[in-house]
Amino acid sequence: MSVTPEKKAPGVRVSGLSVVYRTPTGELPAISGIDLDLVPGTITGVVGESGSGKSTLALSLLNAVQSPGRISAGSVEIDGLGDVVKLRGEELRKARGRHIGYVFQAAQNSLNPLKTVGKQLLDLGRSHDVADLRGLVREAKDLLGRMGMDGARVLDSHQHELSGGMRQRVGIMFALVLNAHLVVLDEPTTALDMITQATILRIVREVHEERGLTTLVITHDLGVVAEVADRLAVMYGGQVVEQGPTMEVLGAPRHPYTQGLLRAIPRLVGDIDEARALPGRPPTLGTIPERGCVFRDRCVLRMDVCETEKPPVVSLGASIALCHAVEAAADRDGRADIPPAGGLQEVVGAQGATGVHEVRGEQP
Amino acid sequence: MFARRLAGHLARGLVMILVVTTVSFFVIRSVPGDPMAARYEKLVEQGMSPVAAQRAVEVLYGFAPTGGLWQQYVDYMSGLLRLDLGQSLMVPGVGVSTVLFSAAKWTVLPVLAGTLLSFLVGVVMGVYAAIRRSGRLGDVLAISGSLLHGVPQYVLALLLGAVFTTLIPILPTSGTADIMFEPGFNAGYIGSLIEYATLPVLTYALASYGGWILAMKSSVVTVLGDDFILAAELRGIKRGIVFRYVTRNAILPLFTILALSLGMLFGGAIFIERIFNYPGLGLMLIDGINNRDYALMGGAFLLITAAIVVANIVADLFYTVIDPRVRSGEGSI
């Protein structure tokens, strides 16, 4: 799974990013102080439960947080664009689509129901002052053909004439057709059946490598991440609690939340009862604690310090975790020996139908 | 496909008309107070012999009903097949269709003008109210819509009538045209027609404007929240193009309401016609009911039913033209 980063693939540096939502009870944080680097030419996966702030993070990369939300602090530096948070008006509009491609969740209807795909493609071309509209159509047909569809027929279709998997490929086409090299996919395979899901993930991977992209995949499905992502960020309560190379994070999870997530996956072989659900509920906007660790209420390794102190950033190998317990363990032994619960192999096992076989997890 | 659809609609429409005609025939006949019988009784009371009285009534109305209720029903329906709506009792010796047509011209044009005017203005203002819904002007527009929507037509008509007879008496408030002009195709008469139609049209437009602005506003707000609008913005589509995406999708459901309200054209605007003394279908229907003019009532109900049926068909067929999801018939949605 080695990726050769091409020159065109931009790097992205998210630092100190916070987004708040205005509510009747004041401004509540959806994500707070996120630091995340997207390495040029890699696929980064962001996983987390509903409400953990994944989609807010994804929209922030396009400075497109929807009202009543707003980016309250931090920056999103994208190579070739600068700080996206500072972009406004026409500059921002032109960056969207041309520099950053965004692919919507498959279940969502991201096409105008009254216009054919082709006409919407022309709208896209005109919006970005594409002089050679014929060339654009040719490019779109190539991309669609590349994804196993009849380009001419798809361009002549309305949204309702396409299946979920086809719509998703059309969405990917729209994200790439202007030659954007940073692509954000928000839940790209949610609501698709397993076969279509595997196809879409294969396409994402292939197109990513062919075109030399920097890709961010938002998902709640660890299997998806295991299949496509080079690097992984785990979100909880509006923070990235653990990040690092996918194999490292899934193979030897450090943060108790990541461990809990992996333990909760039912195995394809063995008893369903072996899967342990994480007790408790994720925090909502209003219940995110202001001080201390956001995960402490559900944490098995909870300590007194978790109540009051913000968890430290602990670097271990190539990955980073925000956790007092991880830090304590590292201090004690000079290395993290919190036993990883549920290694990568089992995640792969759970994803049997999507056919991951090139990744190998390491069991302790 | 299209022809089959149309044929199905027409068949259903005919059944609908048949049912409504039958029901209204018997309902009308069961209303107490038969005008011919009343006149006959009166003549007999005045000392005329029954035979002479019967003949006098026949001469007066130009026809006489024969047989029982069922026989009359069969006669009426077979007359309908020949597009014969029967004779008016209120205007003796004149066919119902003639009476209807003379009244229809005073209803269809003003109501059509009022509907289209309020539709255009209401839709434009509705878009504005939706886009500026968090601003002051948006609030004002939405509140004006709710207010006008809530005020009954006759109150609006009375208000406007009062204002334009007392405060600013610049517009005529009664009748259809100044009698000093010779009816015909001349500038003076047509100008006068327009002048006299202004208040009824204005009232009608104001009365329906509130509905349009509220409907369009909520439709636009719904579409603005749709995923494909955000998707278009995230693709960097120009504002003007996104605006067209919004408005075209938002106006679709309003076309159905428009087509249906055009179907109500022939129902007339009873209160408005009454207050401005405008001799349209609504006023005529009221007169017909007061005079127990069975044939006229039946004819008016038939006209209203037929118009609504036709409007439904037009709305449905129009949809197949403007909405690709309906066009392809067996779509997934």
A266 and A248 Cβ atoms separated by less than 8 Å: no
DSSP A181-245: SEEEEESTTTT--HHHHHHHHHHHHHHHHHHT-EEEEEES-HHHHHHH-SEEEEEETTEEEEEEE
Chain A residues with CB inside 8 Å of B322's CB? 114
pLDDT score for B328: 62
Which residues of chain B are within 8 Å of residue A110 when distances are taken between CB atoms?
227-228, 231
CB contact under 8 A, B245 and A112: yes
For A54-73, the pLDDT digits (tens) are 989 999 999 999 888 999 99
Per-residue pLDDT tens digits for A338-349: 444 444 444 444
Question: Would the CB atoms of B236 and A64 count as touching at under 8 Å?
Answer: no
**Nearest to residue B129, comparing CAs of B217, B206, B210, B211?**
B217
Number of domains in chain A: 1
Low-confidence ranges of chain B (pLDDT < 50): 330-333
pLDDT at A107: 61
CA distances from A288 to A239, A285, A301 (A): 11, 6, 19
Q: How many domains does chain B have?
A: 1
Tokens of residue B269, six digits: 């605007």
pLDDT digits (tens, 9 = 90+) for B26-66: 888 777 767 677 777 777 888 778 888 777 777 666 566 66
Mutate to test the interface with A, among B219, B223, B235, B245 (most CBs of A within 10 A): B235
pLDDT band, residue A146 (cuts 50/70/90): confident
A149-192 tens-digit pLDDT: 899 999 999 998 998 888 988 998 999 899 899 999 998 888 78
- Using CA atoms, how far apart are residues B251 and B126, in angstroms rounded to an integer? 10
Q: Is residue B269 part of a domain?
A: yes
Contacts of A112 in chain B (CB under 8 A): 228, 232, 245, 249
Residue B302, CA atoms < 13 Å, CB-side half-sphere: 23
Give domain status of residue B130, yes or no.
yes
Find the domain containing A259 and state its range.
245-353
Q: Is residue B3 part of a domain?
A: no
Query: Has residue B45 been placed in a domain?
Result: no
DSSP letter string over A270-286?
Answer: S-GGG--PPSS----TT
pLDDT digits (tens, 9 = 90+) for A76-109: 999 988 999 998 888 999 999 999 999 987 666 8
Indicate the length of chain A as a whole number: 364
- CA dist B249 and A162 (Å) reads 19
Chain A, 142-171: which have a CB under 8 Å from a chain B CB? 158-161, 171
pLDDT score of B292: 78
Domain that holds residue B172: 105-280
Mark yes or no for CB contact A114/B238 under 8 Å: no
Q: Do B164 and B173 meet the contact criterion of CB atoms below 8 Å apart?
A: yes
DSSP at B167: I
Distance from CA of A266 to the nearest CA of B (A): 32
Residue A165 resides in a domain = no
Does residue A298 fall inside a structural domain? yes
Residue A170 resides in a domain: no
pLDDT of residue A164: 85
A231-236/A43-47 β-pairing? parallel
Q: Most confidently modeled of A278-282, A293-297, A349-353, B117-121?
A: B117-121
Through-space distance between the first and last CA atoms of chain A, rounded to whole angstroms: 23
Q: Which residues of A touch B228 (CB under 8 A)?
A: 109-113, 159
Note whether residue B7 is domain-resident.
no
A322: in domain: yes
CATH of the domain at B160: 1.10.3720.10
Q: How many CB pairs under 8 A join A and B?
A: 83
Pairing of strands A26-38, A43-47: unpaired
Report chain A's C-alpha Rg in angstroms.
21
Give the residue among A43, A17, A41 at the shortest CA–CA distance from A30.
A17
**Complex-level ipTM:** 0.82
Q: Phi and psi dihedrals of B8, rounded to 5?
A: -60, -45
Query: What CA dihedral angle connects B69, B75, B77 and B82, to 10 degrees?
Result: -160
pLDDT above 70 coverage of chain A, percent:
88
Is B84 among the domain residues? no
The answer to whether position B326 is within a domain reads: no
A98 touches chain B (CB under 8 A): yes
Residue A232 confidence class, pLDDT cut points 50, 70, 90: very high
Question: How crowded is residue B50: how many other Cβ atoms within 10 Å of its Cβ?
Answer: 10
Q: Which of A285, A283, A279, A311 is nearest to A298 (CA)?
A: A279
A217 in a structural domain: no
Give the contacts of B6 (CB within 8 A, at least 6 positions apart). Answer: B313, B317
How far are the Cα atoms of A180, A236, B246 from residue A284, in angstroms, in the given order?
34, 11, 32
Contact present, B293 and B35 (Cβ < 8 Å): yes
Determine, yes or no, domain membership for A112.
no
Q: Please, are residues B319 and B257 in contact by the beta-carbon 8 Å criterion?
A: no
pTM, rounded to two decimals: 0.79
> Following DSSP, what letter does each residue of B47-100 receive, concatenated?
T--HHHHHHHHHHHHS----S-HHHHHHHHHHHHHTT---B-TTTTTSBHHHHH
B241 to A64: CB separation less than 8 angstroms, yes or no? no
Q: Which amino acid is at A300?
A: V
Is residue A358, in this structure, part of any structural domain at all? Answer: no
Cα angle A117, A121, A125 (rounded to 5 degrees) comes to: 170
Distance, in Å, from the CA atom of B229 to the CA atom of A147, rounded to the nearest integer, reads 25
Do A6 and A41 contact (CB within 8 A), yes or no? Answer: yes
Mutate to test the interface with A, among B234, B323, B327 (most CBs of A within 10 A): B234
Flag whether A160 is in a domain. Answer: no
**Among all chains, which residue has been given the structure tokens 């002479």?**
B52
